[in-house]
Structure formats: C-alpha cells, structure tokens
Amino acid sequence: MSEQYSKPEKILNKIVDIQQVLANGVLLFMMAIITFDVIGRNLFKSPLKGTYEMTELSSALLVFLALAITHRVGDHIKIDFLVDHFSERVRKFLFGSIEIVITVVLLLMSNHIFENGLRMMERNSTTTDLGLPVYPFLFIISFTLLIFMLTSVFKAITYFRLAVSEK
C-alpha cells in the first residue's frame, strides 16, 4: 500500500479495533442483563425492568459495531465457486467493483439512518419501558456504517491496485 493511504488506513483500523472492543462490551452487557433478568424472574419473582428493550437496542448495536471488523478480516459468508474460474486479475477487479457497490449502498444507508435519527430527535422518541431516547442509537449506527464504508473503500483500492499490478 502506498504511503498516502497507509496513515488513514491505520487510523481507520484503530477505529475498527475500538468498535470491536465496544461490540465485545455490548455482548457482555447483554449477557449480564439477560442473566440477571432470568435470576430475578425465577428466584425473586422480580424481573429487571426494560430487559427486552435493552436487549433489543444492544443487539442492534452489537451487529453494527461488528460489521467493519467482519468485513476487514473477510469473515462474511461467501459463495465463490463461479469466481474461482476467472483469472486472478479479473477476480481482483470484480472484488474491487463489488467493494464500490458496497460503499455506495452503505453511504445511502448511513445517510438514511442519520436522517431518521434526526427525525426521532425532533419528535423526542423514547423507548416504552425505560424512556430512553432512540436517536443516539441511530447516530451510533450511522457512524458505524460510515466506518464500514471506509473499510470497503480501502479494500476496493487494494483490490484495484492488485488487479493493475497483476501481470
């Protein structure tokens, strides 16, 4: 990778790593509240209030926080039996083109979710049981999609550079 891309990519990778740590924390939080809810419900006949809401919101955060790291390391499900028949150069160009499509879709999704967050903020939308505002979660999700998008941009650049350098 050339020098002009290495520093921004390193910064992006640090952000993705932070998101992974946050995703791990969210998962631990979910496990804890579900455990305490079950214990409270079965032993003390007193479940935790808002467990369903917190599980719902934290599972959304968990998924979106983990998307960029999953994409960076290539852990998505792939069906590539057709692509295996292409030359390495065509394959890299195709993968780069797919990354560009992913980038555009993620930009549109992030924009839509951010605008939805603004509408929720204007309307003071909150959760039912705990009265938590919904918009911060939407803003976080929008940010994670932008990070995912930037990860896709760097992967596209890498694929196109590999396709060009193939002989």
Question: CB–CB of 73/148 below 8 Å?
Answer: no
Reported pTM:
0.89
pLDDT of residue 79: 74
Tokens read off for 79: 């069906």
pLDDT beneath 50, residues of the chain: 1
Question: CB–CB of 9/1 below 8 Å?
Answer: yes
pLDDT of residue 5: 63
**3-state secondary structure at position 45:** coil
Tokens read off for 125: 């939308």
Question: How far from chain centre, in Å, is Cα 7?
Answer: 22
